[in-house]
């Protein structure tokens, strides 16, 4: 396939997240987030890296947006740090924090870039965690909705594309089951499911408030979607894949889009005795919000294989490759249901993620047929070891990855999927959460390593120039 041509108005974008790029973690009145505290626990992140400085976007935002304009970017998806605008999580706004995001919005619009705001990309105010356990309390849903309304009121005149929650399936499970993310609780599955339900309520309340405040806007959510393939046609493995999709994908997607939990998943958690408290009022709220969702956003990096798992088999607690030592990932799963072995037909990144462009077409097809909503591909990209040589980064491997995935979007469009936007993860290199700074995703290289320091100078990678050409040609030149 030589190239594609997207329909008019397609948003060629790139993405970032506040904690991963901004730095300035305690400047200008910002409160601490749960990540500001969590990264200070020894051993939690690769070589103890943190977001104190990150890539200093807080002080370099104008330079970064100038690079976006040079690229010809059509959309920039970024997140607002809740504790930067509401240091206590609720109450009096921090006007300096609000001004920071207002300036970014204005600069984007000045350069013809559509701002796309994510309200929650994992950085819960530490004040709310301390006050009532954060998402463990239903109060957090109300405080999130109040924060969302404040942002709609302040920015809704200029920002028309909004995402409530980023990768709820990741931050809740890693926070309450594996302890890889804050609040760092291990195997607290009942608490996980209740906290997750409270996030659902917060999302729903924000969606229901949105259209009254931003009547000409669109609101959606962003889900980390790893579509499941059965290992083979053995009926036990086919059922394992059904269980995987039910518990790892539809447990969230069905709530967003139908307003209800999938029946088999609910039956499973009731049998386990850990199904959260879901009132009739909750179900009515979730159902009402599902009818007002304008698009379904999803982050796609890889597919997953599912295979039957004995009761004494793989658990959720295996080692996760955070070092880039290829082959160090453990097989994980749910005992008695499914495990997720490597796909023997696919190559992988150095962090053991399967590279599967066909899976993106498959994902778009499944989501379109199941939910009948327009799609936003809110993240897609390649984490890799990049080398800066004479001011250049020759990342042909990233160009190849992106090309194949953009071609997969064309295939999905031809097969009936309505895709509104595609956001490369990420615009600049950034802090890759537990993986430190060596796992680079950016179209722009940033001069910093795990230790604090480095010039933080920006360098355009070969992929920067390639993506600029893609945008200029609306996808016809790949």
Cis peptide before 160 (omega within 30 of 0): no
How many CB atoms neighbour CB 327 within 10 A? 9
The Cα 17–Cα 373 span in angstroms is 25
How far apart are the C-alpha atoms of 201 and 198, rounded to whole Å? 5
Compute, in degrees rounded to 10, the torsion defined by CA atoms 420, 423, 424, 427: 150
Distance between alpha carbon 441 and the CA centroid of its chain, in Å? Answer: 14
Q: CB–CB of 128/86 below 8 Å?
A: no
153's tokens: 């009121």
Catalytic, 167? Answer: yes
Candidates 22, 107, 248, 379; catalytic one: 379
Local structure of residue 33 (DSSP, 8 states)? B
Burial class of residue 357, CB neighbours in 10 A (0-12, 13-18, 19+): buried
Token pair 């970024």 is found at: 78
Q: Which two tokens stand for residue 156?
A: 């809704």
Q: 389 φ, ψ to 5°? A: -135, 115
Buried-exposed string 451-471: b where 16+ CB fall within 10 A, e elsewhere: eeeeebebbbbebbebbbebb
Distance of CA 230 to the CA centre of its chain: 25
| Residue 288 DSSP class | H
Annotated active-site residue in 167, 248, 407, 410 = 167
Active site includes 379?
yes
Distances (CA, A) of 338 to 123, 243, 268, 359: 31, 7, 13, 20
Alpha-carbon span 161 to 152, nearest angstrom = 11
Closest by CA to 193, choosing from 206, 204, 179, 177, is 177
HSE-CB for 252 with a 13 A CA cutoff: 28
Q: Which residues, in sequence order, are bridge partners of residue 221?
A: 296
Backbone dihedral region of 118: left (phi > 0), alpha (psi from -120 to 50 degrees) or beta?
beta
CB atoms under 10 Å from CB of 372, counted, come to 10
Residue 253 CA to residue 258 CA, distance in Å, equals 8
* CA distances (Å), origin 443, targets 68, 78, 115, 357, 381: 10, 15, 18, 19, 10
| Positions marked catalytic | 167, 379
């Amino acid at each position: 396939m030589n190239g594609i041509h997207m329909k008019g108005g397609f948003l060629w974008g790139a993405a970032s997240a506040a904690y991963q790029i901004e730095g300035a973690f305690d400047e200008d009145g910002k409160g601490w987030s749960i990540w500001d505290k969590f990264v200070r626990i020894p051993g939690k992140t690769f070589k103890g890296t943190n977001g104190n400085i990150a890539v200093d976007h807080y002080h370099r935002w104008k330079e970064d947006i100038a690079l976006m304009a040079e690229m010809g970017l059509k959309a920039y998806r970024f997140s607002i740090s809740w504790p930067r605008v509401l240091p206590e999580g609720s109450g009096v706004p921090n006007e300096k924090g609000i001004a920071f995001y207002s300036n970014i919005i204005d600069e984007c619009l000045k350069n013809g870039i559509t701002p796309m705001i994510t309200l929650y990309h994992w950085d819960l105010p530490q004040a709310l965690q301390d006050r009532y356990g954060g998402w463990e309390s239903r109060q957090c849903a109300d405080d999130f909705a109040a924060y969302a309304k404040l942002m709609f009121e302040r920015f809704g005149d200029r920002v028309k594309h909004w995402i409530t929650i980023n990768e709820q399936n990741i931050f809740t499970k890693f926070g309450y089951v594996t302890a890889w993310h804050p609040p760092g609780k291990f195997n607290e599955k009942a608490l996980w499911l209740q906290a997750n339900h409270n996030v659902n309520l917060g999302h729903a309340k924000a969606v229901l408030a949105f259209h009254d405040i931003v009547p000409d806007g669109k609101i959606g959510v962003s889900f980390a979607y790893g579509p499941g393939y059965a290992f083979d046609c053995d009926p036990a493995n086919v059922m394992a894949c059904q269980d995987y999709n039910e518990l790892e994908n539809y447990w969230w997607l069905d709530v967003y889009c139908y307003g209800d939990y999938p029946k088999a998943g609910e039956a499973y958690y009731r049998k386990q005795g850990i199904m959260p408290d879901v009132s009739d009022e909750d179900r009515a709220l979730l159902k009402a919000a599902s009818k007002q969702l304008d698009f379904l956003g999803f982050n796609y990096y890889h597919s997953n294989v599912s295979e039957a798992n004995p009761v004494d088999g793989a658990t959720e607690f295996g080692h996760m490759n955070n070092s880039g030592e290829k082959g160090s990932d453990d097989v994980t799963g749910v005992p008695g249901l499914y495990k997720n072995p490597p796909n023997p037909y696919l190559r992988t990144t150095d962090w053991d993620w399967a590279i599967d462009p066909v899976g993106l077409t498959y994902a778009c097809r499944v989501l379109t047929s199941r939910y009948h909503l327009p799609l936003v591909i809110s993240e897609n990209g390649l984490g890799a070891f990049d080398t800066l040589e004479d001011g250049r980064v020759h990342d042909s491997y990233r160009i190849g990855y992106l090309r194949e995935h953009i071609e997969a979007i064309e295939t999905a469009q031809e097969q009936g999927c309505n895709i509104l936007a595609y956001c490369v993860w990420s615009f600049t290199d950034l802090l890759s959460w537990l993986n430190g700074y060596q796992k680079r995703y950016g179209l722009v290289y940033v001069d910093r390593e795990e230790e604090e320091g480095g010039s933080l100078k920006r360098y355009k990678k070969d992929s920067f120039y390639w993506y600029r050409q893609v945008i200029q040609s609306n996808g016809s030149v790949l």
